[in-house]
Amino acid sequence: MNSRDTRRGSSRRNTSQRRPRQTSSYDEERRRRSRGGAGEVAGGRRLPLVVIALLAVVAARLVWLQVIDAPRLSARADAMSTTNVAILAKRGTIYDRNGNVLATSVECRTLYCNPSAVGDKNAAAQVLADKLGGQASDYLPTLSQDTTFAYLKRQVDTDVATDVISTLASKDIEGVYTLADVKRVYPYGATAGQVLGFIGTDGHGLSGLELQYDDVLSGTDGEMLVERGRDGSPVAGGASEIHEATDGTDIIVSLDVNVQRVAEEQLTQAMDDTEAKSGNVIVTQPGTGEILAACSWPLFDPTDSSTLTNDALKLMSVSDSYEPGSTFKTLTMAIGYDTGTINKSSTFSVPAQVKVGDDTVTDVDGRDYMMDMTPTEIMRRSSNTGAALVGQAIGADKFAAGIAALGIGQKTGIDFPGESAGIVPSRDEYTGATTGAAAFGQGIAFPSIQLVRAIGAIANKGTLVTPHFLVQKGSEKADWGQGQQAISSEACESVIGDLREVVLEGTGQEAQVAGYDVVGKTGTGQQALDTGGYLDDSYLSSFIGFANGDDAQVLCYVGLYGTAQHGSAACAPFSAIMSEALTDLSVPTQN
């Protein structure tokens, strides 16, 4: 091959080698472009997909927030911007038998604050102390709380609350506000304080009739959801939900505020006159059991917290048990007449001393000789030895049955907290001394309300009724039943005759009320020691009686405890209270 051919061959070879490279380059470029083109198309498609995915996530989140999690978020938002405020139910009013308001609720204000909005806390605390009482240091802890809502003081008189707000405003102090509230007031002050009782800051009764009828008087509180601004203050018109309160029910009670006032005055005077340690009075209508007045010493004033003691809150006539003394002879004679053991002409040879079990009983007159006495004479002279003989004649079985029939040793069912049944032995517990001692009111102890009920039955021709305060609840009359026959009317008539002699010629003459037939019995009960035996010169001086004798309209008991004086000391306060009650009830005179 010549050089030319060689060059051609070479040229061809080079050409043939370059062509594949060119072809390869072309194909590669084409493939590159093809890949590049495909890549551009894929990238163009991927971007919308990402956007769509993001939008889907956002949409899902919105669905979650707006639909699924909406209740929780709404509640959280509400909690941050609203406050639940109680709408207090107005407590029912208590009226006496004549329509006088004894206890009622009036509108007032509650002061509260948003501590975070109170700037000068020291100045604010000083204003509160000046207007509400106390020291500035009393209010600073509340004003400094880490919250947007805190109570400062409840049940503030409206004019005082207004003065507080205006004074704070004059000092450019914000963050203190008021809410509507109610509080309990007692228009007659201390009068009937023990009977009415009082309520706590939560609006519920804590003692007396306020406690006894709390479920009737209290009603049901409502609730208001109050919208708050950023500073914690209520937004005007921002209440989003209201559950209205249901007010309590009014009640009418049997008390007569005038008789109650006189009863308390007379008890206070008697405490001074006799230097007694305590005492009580209860006035009833024996035919119905309605209580016109009731009080104990010390008295309680629901408007004065300094009188708030355990002794002042209770009614002794309901809760405290004492040996009654000679007033119990009334029941002994009634049982004697009812069982036929005695009659008006029965005569007992009464010695100066009588053996009762291991004890010796004597009479207060100190005589040293025997006397013949009728039942009337035994009552007129208040003879312990005579009453012991009558009790022994009746016998343990009939005596135990008789006092049980008259409700002694049993709760009366009075509508008042804290009633006690007393300490009265059952028949199985009688000893040889029980009947003789109990016949003149010794060796048994019970609250005086039981004696009031039992002697009320004698005044009521033998019918035992339930002593009570409630007369009407709302428009509904209270039904206390008709009572039960505990003793014969004939026996009652005989006892009433004996009681009349006690007041006319015996130990109860100071209990008389001009123009009325007052009958009753004095009592001088010895005060038992916890260790056994009795205190010297410390008695229960008492009187219980009713008028008029044959048509009893009012019954009254006066008891003075821990005095050195005898039963006649209770006669004068009894007379004054009975006179007021008879006049107030317009009971006509008899002579």
pLDDT tens, position by position, 506-518: 999 999 999 999 9
**What spatial distance separates the first Cα and last Cα of the chain, rounded to whole Å?**
182
CA distance 533 to 242: 66
- Which residues fall within 8 angstroms of residue 224, CB to CB, at 6 or more apart? 84, 85, 86, 87, 239, 241, 242, 243
- Which residues fall within 8 angstroms of residue 502, CB to CB, at 6 or more apart? 379, 380, 382, 508, 519, 520, 521, 522
CATH of 257-584, one of 3.20.20.140, 3.30.360.10, 3.40.710.10, 1.25.10.10: 3.40.710.10
CA distance 482 to 289: 10
CA distance 276 to 537: 11
Query: How much is the pTM?
Result: 0.81
**Strand, helix or coil at 440?**
coil
List, as one string, the DSSP characters of 156-219: E-HHHHHHHHHHHHHTT---EEEEEEEEEE-TTTTTTHHHH--B-TTS-B-SHHHHHTHHHHS-
User: Taking the CB of residue 395, how many other CB atoms lie within 10 A of it?
Assistant: 13
- Cis peptide bond N-terminal to 14, omega within 30: no
Backbone angles phi, psi at 170, to 5 degrees: -65, -20
For residue 324 the two structure tokens come to 């009654």
List, as one string, the DSSP characters of 108-138: EEEEEE-GGG-S-HHHHHHHHHHHH-S-HHH
Q: Identify the residue whose tokens are 């004649």.
A: 393
How does DSSP classify residue 424? -
State the pLDDT at residue 357: 84
CA distance 21 to 250: 114
| 82-253 classified as CATH 3.10.20.30 | no
Say what angle helices 384-394 and 329-339 make with each other, to 10 degrees.
40
Is residue 458 left, alpha or beta, with left meaning phi > 0 and alpha meaning psi from -120 to 50?
Answer: alpha
CA distance 351 to 374: 13
Q: Do 288 and 465 contact (CB within 8 A), yes or no?
A: yes
How does DSSP classify residue 65? I
CA distance 223 to 35: 73
| Alpha helices (H) in 244-383, listed in sequence order | 257-274, 310-313, 316-319, 329-339, 375-381
CA distance 13 to 19: 10
Sequence spans of domains, the chain: 3-75, 82-253, 257-584
For residue 583, what are the CA distances in angstroms to 469, 547, 553, 580? Answer: 21, 12, 11, 5
For residue 89 the two structure tokens come to 């139910």
CA distance 323 to 266: 23
State the pLDDT at residue 14: 45
Task: Give the pairing type, strands 94-95 and 101-113.
Answer: antiparallel
State the pLDDT at residue 205: 95
Identify any residues that bridge with 112 across adjacent strands, giving them in sequence order: 151, 177
- Which residues fall within 8 angstroms of residue 151, CB to CB, at 6 or more apart? 110, 111, 112, 142
Q: Do 435 and 474 contact (CB within 8 A), yes or no?
A: no
State the pLDDT at residue 213: 98
State the pLDDT at residue 63: 61
Amino acid identity at 262: V
- Cis peptide bond N-terminal to 298, omega within 30: yes
State the pLDDT at residue 182: 86
The dihedral built from the CA positions of residue 108, 113, 117 and 118, taken in this order, carries a sign that is positive
**Which strand ranges, in their side-by-side order, compose the sheet holding 534-547?**
291-297, 278-284, 554-563, 534-547, 519-528
State the pLDDT at residue 222: 87
pLDDT under 70: residue ranges of the chain = 1-47, 50-51, 57-81, 226-241, 591
How does DSSP classify residue 68? I
